[in-house]
Amino acid sequence: MQYHTKLREGDIAPYVLLPGDPKRVSVVAGFWDEAHPVADNREHVTYTGVYRGMPISCTSTGMGCPSTAIAMEELARVGARTFLRIGTCGTFQDFIHNGDLIVFDSACRYDGTSRLYAPPEFPAAAHYEVINACVDAARALGLPFHVGATRSSDTFFAGHPAPGSSFNGYWNSSWAHLFEDLRRMNVYGAEMEASIVLVLARLWGLRAGGVAVCLDNLLHVSDGADAFDPQAQLSHSEENIKKLARMGCESLLRLWQADCRRAG
């Protein structure tokens, strides 16, 4: 039995969705034809089942790269071979709107965890088959989407002071420049987990990718203020999470179908 996830070999399918929030696992599993809770420990909740004939699992990672790395390490040890991170993100680009999906083809490694596995020069790149499957699924579902790089960071609130915070001056003089640089570099997403998912899968010779629903623009949040208020700006609507769950299931389905065709 794995120490953190409490999983054993045979508990999971080779195709695994990775949301962050444990409460989203049951939402994802609600789209399956068959779903069974397998394990629940700390931030890691796992369901395994069947979606349109495909064996599938879903394990929550918790927030950030450290807990995500633990989940991936243990999942790979008990049979996971294809990983798809599904979550929420911000953006630096004005042409990306709230509710749009961003398919990650790569990640800027602003986290610390992935550097303990590989030097910063090592690419955090999604597997091309996973990217293609996500694009096909988004088109088939008629969902607005973009394909591009994300920035994975270890922090959520750094650079996002609350309204009226004394740190607003620090935001204006420091973080605004960094975020503007990321915008100019055509970085699309801003989240906390994709980099470690992509790095670990590539190191191990496995497949991984990521897709997230955009909830706000980090350069000018939706109310036009200079401050970031997570309660006002990041309402994780049921509609967005269900859209993300369906997108994840359909993306893995295409990978499974292609694998079956190759296997004859």
User: Does residue 134 contact residue 252 with C-beta atoms inside 8 Å?
Assistant: no
Tell me, yes or no, whether 214 lies in a domain.
Answer: yes
Per residue in 151-162, pLDDT tens?
A: 999 988 776 644
**Total number of domains constituting the chain:** 1
Q: What is the pLDDT of residue 5?
A: 98
What pLDDT score was predicted for residue 182? 95
- Residue 4 resides in a domain: no
- The rounded average pLDDT for each run of 10 residues, N- to C-terminus, in the chain (264 residues) is 97 98 96 98 98 98 98 98 97 94 98 97 98 98 97 83 48 71 96 98 98 90 48 62 96 98 94
pLDDT for position 129: 98
- Model pTM score: 0.92
pLDDT given at position 236:
57
| pLDDT, tens only, 80-106 | 999 999 999 999 999 999 999 999 999
The CA distance from 197 to 109, in Å, is 11
**Residues 6 or more apart whose Cβ sits within 8 Å of residue 194:** 85, 104, 107, 124, 150, 152, 210, 212
How far, in Å, CA of 63 to CA of 105, rounded?
A: 21
Q: Supply the CATH number for residue 223's domain.
A: 3.40.50.1580
Does 6 fall in a domain?
no
Place of tokens 């979550």: 87
Burial class (CB in 10 A: 0-12, 13-18, 19+), 188: buried
pLDDT for the residue numbered 117: 98
As a whole number of angstroms, the distance between CA 97 and CA 215 comes to 8
Range of the domain at 69: 15-263
* Residue 1 within a domain: no
Q: Are strands 101-110 and 34-41 parallel, antiparallel or unpaired?
A: unpaired
3-state percent helix, strand, coil for the chain, nearest multiple of 5: 35, 25, 35
